[in-house]
Amino acid sequence: MAELLVVDGVTAGYGESVVLDDVSLSLEEGDRLALLGRNGVGKTTLLVTLMGLTRLHRGRISWRGADLAALPTHRRSHLGIGWVPQERLMFASLTVDEHLTSVARPGPWTPARAYKLFPRLAERRGNYGNQLSGGEQQMLAIARALMVNPALLLLDEPMEGLAPIIVQELMNVVRELAEEGGMAVIVVEQHARLALSLTRQAVVLERGRVVHRGPSAELARDADTLHRLVAVA
């Protein structure tokens, strides 16, 4: 499989500050990566750096061999990076339907297909972004990201603050997307075991640096290491 994304020696942060320190990782087409670590170690910063929303001090990010550094955020989305942000970032004055149609780009993923994936959203298509439950917002955040027809889906704490039954439902959807869709996925998740069960490889960050990388299954079995690197809930 060809390399989809290569992050090479990236040092990045907000303004002058440095959050990520010399981070490297790579992802093949259709691959699934768990990005783990305690709170505030830079997991979200890495995802928003991929979206071009931080200041890249050093290092290189390449997408299918091309350098991403000079590309503005919206062009990265056009390349096929589907961003499901932490906090979901709903548009309060857009309906559910408009969340999908306003960002939709041609490809296999259409609003109709997203409604099939999340029937709950179809029932709510006329509701505004701020009139949804937490679970519905998360579904919409994922559906919205699918509208850009991504080759890589960035899921930033998709299960945060959701009821267990909703988590189960979303897990099934994400698994389905990852396994059938041929879509690469990077999951940032506090529930480490959940993220590991979804992915093939894992990267653990600590204070902005990569402190562990390896197959997800291996890390899931190694309770001591997992506990040392990530406070397991």
Binding site for another protein (CB under 8 A): 51, 53, 72-74, 77-78, 83, 85, 89-94, 98-99, 101-103, 105, 129, 144-145, 147-148
Query: To which H or E segment does residue 12 belong?
Result: strand 3-13
Smaller CB distance to another protein: residue 65 or 72?
Answer: 72
Gap between the Cα atoms of 160 and 203, Å rounded:
19
Residue 188 sits at the vertex; the CA angle it makes with 227 and 36, to the nearest 5 degrees, is 25
Smaller CB distance to another protein: residue 43 or 191?
Answer: 43
- In angstroms, what is the minimal distance from the CB of 50 to another protein? 10
Smaller CB distance to another protein: residue 98 or 169?
Answer: 98
- In angstroms, what is the minimal distance from the CB of 22 to another protein? 25
Which residues, in sequence order, are CB contacts of 228 under 8 Å at separation 6+? none
Structure tokens at 132: 């949804």
Q: Where do we find the tokens 């981070």?
A: 23
- In angstroms, what is the minimal distance from the CB of 76 to another protein? 8
Contact, 81 vs 152, CB < 8 A? yes
Looking at the DSSP assignment, which residues form a beta bridge with residue 210? 205
- In angstroms, what is the minimal distance from the CB of 225 to another protein? 33
Smaller CB distance to another protein: residue 20 or 147?
Answer: 147
